[in-house]
Amino acid sequence: MKTLYVSDLDGTLFNSEKRITKFTVDVINKFIDQGGLFTIATARMAYGCDYKLREIKLNTPGIIMNGACIYSFDKKKYIDVKTIENAKVIEIEDILDEQDCNAFMYSFEDTALSIYYKIEADSQDAQYLSKRALEECREIKKVNSFTRTAMNRQVIYFALTGQERKIQDVWHKVSRITGIESVMYLNIYNGLYCLEIFDANANKANTLMNLKQLLQVDEVVAFGDNHNDIAMMKTADFCFAPENAVIEVKRIANRIIESCNDDGVAKYIKQKYEL
């Protein structure tokens, strides 16, 4: 039976210091060298995780931006990108303006992302304008209108962060837009909440099924720890949660494995395949 293993990064494959240990690198590389299929599914952009994964021989496409894109890490190429209709951008922008929220709109052009925002970024927005983003994005620009900027561009994603109550208010309103999906989850590193908005067909679950078909595998095993992993884990044939996962994820997991700080994912694979 051909099995694909898919792991979330933050809080799952990465430890609490946002790092992947040598033990995990060695186990996964040995698994891949022996013909195993392993990849990742993350809310991060490609440039937000490729350098952290550089020691792993990832030769299977991964899921990035919560499912908005399938990305080949070894070829550094976007394989599939799901776009948001311009009419939906108008509705999203109206809600963001109504709630007085800063947000970052991502578009895909040729082979790279661009980022647009309307309000000057503050310290809590630093994750969106990282050094890697500045190095890798085609354009990062403050604009007056998302709707006008979206014309003639392939918009794929909106991201914002803040205190739970404010992010939750935006989430409830955005959730009512037909054809749009959004996920809200806790950033385990800074205690703020993140909200990501994308096309309804572009979530981790749907993209996982697309990847399953693309790779022609018989089953998928998923690892995840946070709310944005739930749909993917429910869709997988089997799913596992590290000890540090949120309670809602633990409830749906087939099994609880050791925490992200104890190399839970790698230890499971090592034990199962006697690596």
Residues 193 and 207 in one domain: no
Residues 253 and 189 in one domain: no
Residues 65-105: tens digit of each pLDDT: 999 999 999 999 999 999 999 999 999 999 999 999 999 99
Residues 117 and 68 in one domain: no
Task: Convert 177-216 to b/e letters by CB count within 10 Å (16 or more is b).
Answer: beebbbbbbbbbeeeebbbbbbbeebbbbbbbebbbeeee
pTM of the model: 0.91
Residues 168 and 222 in one domain: no
* Six-digit token string for 85: 């209709």
Residues 77 and 40 in one domain: yes
* Domain boundary pick from 156, 176, 199: 199
Residues 184-222: tens digit of each pLDDT: 998 988 899 999 999 998 888 889 999 999 999 999 999
* Domain boundary pick from 170, 199, 228: 199
Report the DSSP pairing between strands 219-223 and 3-7.
parallel
As a whole-number percent, the residues of the chain with pLDDT over 70 amount to 100
Q: Which domain holds residue 195?
A: 86-199
- Asked whether residue 177 carries a pLDDT value surpassing 90, the answer given is yes
Determine contact, residues 116/141, Cβ cutoff 8 Å.
Answer: yes
As a whole-number percent, the residues of the chain with pLDDT over 90 amount to 89
- Asked whether residue 236 carries a pLDDT value surpassing 90, the answer given is yes
CATH number of the domain bearing residue 214: 3.40.50.1000
Per the listing, tokens 């550094």 go with: 76
Domains held by the chain: number: 2
Residues 66 and 96 in one domain: no
3-state secondary structure of 2: coil
* Domain boundary pick from 166, 199, 232: 199
